[in-house]
């Protein structure tokens, strides 16, 4: 506090609504409570701690990779993980894991930030690049497919890149900076896209596909984006504030705008949507029979049930997708090309890359940019039907 506070007494009405002893300096975005800096830090950090404890996210001695992009979410995540690990004695080994997508001007600067974070937080840092993993940089991908579907590509490739980076370090748990706003957006997107495969798990803190060597967690599930920004601001954290140069996919963009408008009339709507998402349950699915295929469990959750009625081969389950295509699903299926865990024969990343390779010669020979981006759009449409 400044020296002149003694001279001028804080009015009672201006005091923090939690401690009633310090001047409120901010309005908390989550519930519009007026708080002092100290109480804000306290509630912000404690809420994340409670999420970690309630969901039993970690065990003592576990090594955790923090997905670090240099942006505000992951920078605050690294800082908070360090703070809580020390304060509550989680006993975790924390490692920064960064993906270099190969976006000139965006990723160069943000990687520099991550490298400074490494010094500031005294954590090991591992960087995996798209170029090394896939032989494509994001810039090359965009020049081939156009900006329109860049986020579809990047999302798929980044997810795999983080997993592969973690495995390389023999780490089996990655935490990411996905916050409450991202969660709410995902719930809306799953409804708007009618994504039955994901709707029940939209708001899970941890996603862990059976057979997958890497678990993912989101300790910021209940943390508002605005509060992350405020925390970084007051704590003077060093982060890179430019958004990715490739704008979000258009349809997702519309949902994001809707959410922002809603938030302006109902700040609680982000948490409210997450509350709703936690209540989404699908009706029991009808089991298809008489299909001349091997007995294959439809999804991992049905596993136990299937063990009981597994006696004869007439019981069949296959997944029929909304577009009518049929997938034959096995637990822990691996991609035929790259060995990555995939529900489909060939994983999403490999399908994307295959499409890119097909377009690469065209790019070199001719200028048929329009036709190649058409191809990519068609491809990304096909991908909507596939799931991890």
Partner 1 sequence: MAELGDICKRCKKKVTTVTSRKDTFCENCFIRFIRGKQRKQMQDDKFKVKFKVKPDHTKLRVLLDFENNEESYVLLDSVISMLMEQSNQGPKAVLGFELIVSVINDSPDFQFDLAKLKNFYGIEELQKLGVSFIEIDCNSFVTDNKFEQLSLDIKKFQTLKIKDDIEDTNIKSYSELLHQAKDKTTREDFSIIVHEDITIKTAVDNKCSIILKSDSMTRMAVTILSDTIRGRGAEIPRHCDNKYIGTFEMMHPLSDILNSEIKTYIKILGIDKLSPSLSVENVNSNLSTKSKTVNDMISEYFQTLEIEYPETVSTVVKIGGKLSNNDENIANLHRCEICKFPIYHDPKQWLEQITVLDHVPPQNEEEKANYQRYLESINNDKEIESSNQTVDDTSVNLCYGCMVTLGVSEVNNLQWPQRPTREEILSEYILDDDE
- What long-range pairs does 294-303 form, CB within 8 A, spacing at least 24? 294/328, 296/328, 296/329, 296/330, 297/329, 297/330, 297/331, 298/329, 299/329, 300/209, 300/210, 300/331, 303/210, 303/331
Of 175, 232, 343, 350, which one interacts with Zn ion (CB under 5 A)? Answer: 350
Which residue's structure tokens are 């490494």? 118
x/- map, 229-248, Zn ion, by CB under 5 A: --------------------
| Nearest-5° Cα angle at 279, 274 to 282 | 125
With tokens 């940089």, the residue in question is: 137
Question: Is residue 217 annotated as involved in ligand binding?
Answer: no
Q: Please, what is the minimum distance in Å from the beta carbon of residue 345 to Zn ion?
A: 9
Token duo for residue 358: 């097909």
- Residue 335: which of partner 1, Zn ion, none does it interact with, CB under 5 to 8 A by kind? Zn ion
Choosing among partner 1, Zn ion, none, which partner's interface includes residue 337 (Cβ < 5 to 8 Å by kind)?
A: Zn ion
What residues contact 114, with CB distance under 8 A and at least 6 apart? 68, 69, 70, 96, 98, 125, 127
Instruction: Find out whether 109 is annotated in a ligand binding site.
Output: no
User: Does 67 show up as a binding residue in the annotation?
Assistant: yes
Q: Which of 7, 8, 60, 283 contacts partner 1 by CB under 8 A?
A: 283
171 sits near Zn ion (criterion: CB under 5 A): no
Map the footprint of partner 1 across residues 74-93, applying CB under 8 A: none
Nearest distance, CB of residue 82 and partner 1, angstroms:
20
**Beta-strand runs (E) in 137-279:** 173-175, 206-207, 215-217
Which residues make beta-bridge pairs with 326?
320
Closest approach of Zn ion to the CB of residue 241, in Å: 27
Residue 381 contacts partner 1 per CB under 8 A: no
Q: Is 12 in the site for partner 1 (CB under 8 A)?
A: yes
CA atoms within 13 A on the CB side of 368: 11
Q: Given the complex with partner 1, which of 47 and 331 has the nearer CB atom? A: 47
Q: Which residues contact 158 (CB under 8 A, 6 or more apart)?
A: 99, 101
The Cα 82–Cα 228 span in angstroms is: 16
Instruction: List the structure tokens of 307.
Output: 């063990």
CA–CA dist 36, 164 (Å, integer):
42
The binder of 365, among partner 1, Zn ion, none, by C-beta within 5 to 8 A per type, is none
Quick one: which of 97, 128, 144, 188 contacts partner 1 (CB under 8 A)? 188
69 close to 238: Cβ distance less than 8 angstroms: no
Judged by CB under 5 A, the number of residues near Zn ion is 12
Decide: is 42 part of the binding site for partner 1 (CB under 8 A): yes
Q: Which of 172, 226, 288, 337 binds Zn ion (CB under 5 A)?
A: 337
List the structure tokens of 49: 């701690």
Contact call for residue 133 and Zn ion (CB under 5 A) = no
315 in a known ligand binding site = no
Give the range of 119-127, 150-158, 235-243, 267-275 binding partner 1 by CB under 8 A. Answer: 267-275
Contacts with partner 1 in 193-212 (CB under 8 A)? 193-196, 199
Given partner 1, Zn ion, none, residue 276, with its beta carbon under 5 to 8 Å by kind, binds partner 1
Please enumerate in sequence order all residues whose Cβ is within 8 A of that of 367, keeping only pairs 6 or more positions apart, or say none. Answer: none
Does 258 contact partner 1 by CB under 8 A?
yes
Map residue 209 onto helix, strand or coil. coil
Interface residue with partner 1 among 10, 229, 296, 369 (CB under 8 A) is 10
If one asks whether residue 39 binds Zn ion (CB under 5 A), the answer comes out as: yes
- On whether the CB atoms of residues 60 and 90 are closer than 8 A, the answer is yes
Q: Are 191 and 151 within 8 A, CB to CB? A: no
Would you list which residues are annotated within the binding site? 67-69, 73, 99, 177, 182
Interface with partner 1 (CB under 8 A): 1, 5-6, 9-10, 12, 15-16, 18-22, 30-31, 36, 38-39, 41-43, 46-47, 50-51, 54, 187-188, 190-196, 199, 222, 250-251, 254, 258, 261-262, 264-266, 268-269, 271-273, 275-284
List binding-site positions for ATP: 67-69, 73, 99, 177, 182
């Amino acid at each position: 506090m400044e020296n002149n506070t003694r001279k001028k007494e804080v009015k009672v009405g201006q005091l923090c609504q939690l401690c009633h002893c310090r001047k409120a300096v901010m309005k908390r975005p989550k519930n519009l409570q007026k708080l002092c800096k100290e109480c804000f830090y306290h509630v912000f950090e404690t809420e994340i701690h409670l999420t970690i404890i309630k969901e039993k996210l970690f065990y003592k001695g576990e090594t955790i990779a923090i997905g670090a992009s240099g942006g505000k979410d992951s920078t605050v995540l690294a800082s908070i993980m360090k703070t809580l690990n020390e304060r509550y004695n989680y006993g975790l080994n924390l490692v920064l894991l960064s993906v270099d997508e190969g976006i000139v001007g965006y990723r160069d600067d943000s990687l520099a930030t991550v490298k400074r974070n490494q010094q500031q937080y005294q954590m090991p840092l591992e960087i995996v690049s798209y170029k090394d993993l896939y032989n494509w940089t994001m810039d090359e991908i965009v020049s081939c497919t156009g900006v329109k579907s860049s986020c579809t590509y990047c999302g798929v490739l980044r997810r795999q890149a983080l997993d592969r980076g973690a495995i390389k370090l023999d780490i089996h748990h990655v935490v990411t900076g996905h916050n409450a706003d991202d969660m709410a957006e995902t719930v809306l997107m799953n409804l708007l896209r009618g994504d039955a495969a994901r709707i029940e798990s939209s708001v899970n803190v941890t996603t862990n596909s059976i057979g997958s060597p890497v678990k993912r967690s989101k300790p910021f599930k209940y943390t508002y984006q605005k509060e992350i920004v405020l925390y970084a601001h007051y704590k003077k954290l060093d982060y890179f504030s430019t958004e990715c140069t490739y704008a979000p996919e258009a349809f997702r963009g519309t949902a994001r705008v809707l959410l922002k408008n809603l938030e302006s009339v109902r700040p609680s709507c982000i948490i409210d949507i997450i509350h709703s998402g936690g209540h989404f349950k699908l009706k029991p699915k009808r089991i298809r029979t008489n299909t001349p295929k091997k007995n294959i469990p439809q999804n991992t959750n049905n596993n136990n049930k299937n063990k009981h009625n597994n006696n004869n081969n007439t019981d069949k389950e296959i997944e029929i997708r909304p577009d009518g295509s049929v997938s034959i699903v096995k637990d822990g299926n691996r991609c035929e090309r790259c060995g990555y865990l995939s529900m489909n024969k060939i994983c999403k990343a490999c399908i994307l890359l295959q499409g890119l390779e097909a377009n690469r010669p065209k790019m070199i020979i001719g200028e048929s940019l329009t036709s190649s981006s058409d191809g990519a759009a068609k491809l990304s449409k096909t991908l909507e039907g596939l799931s991890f």
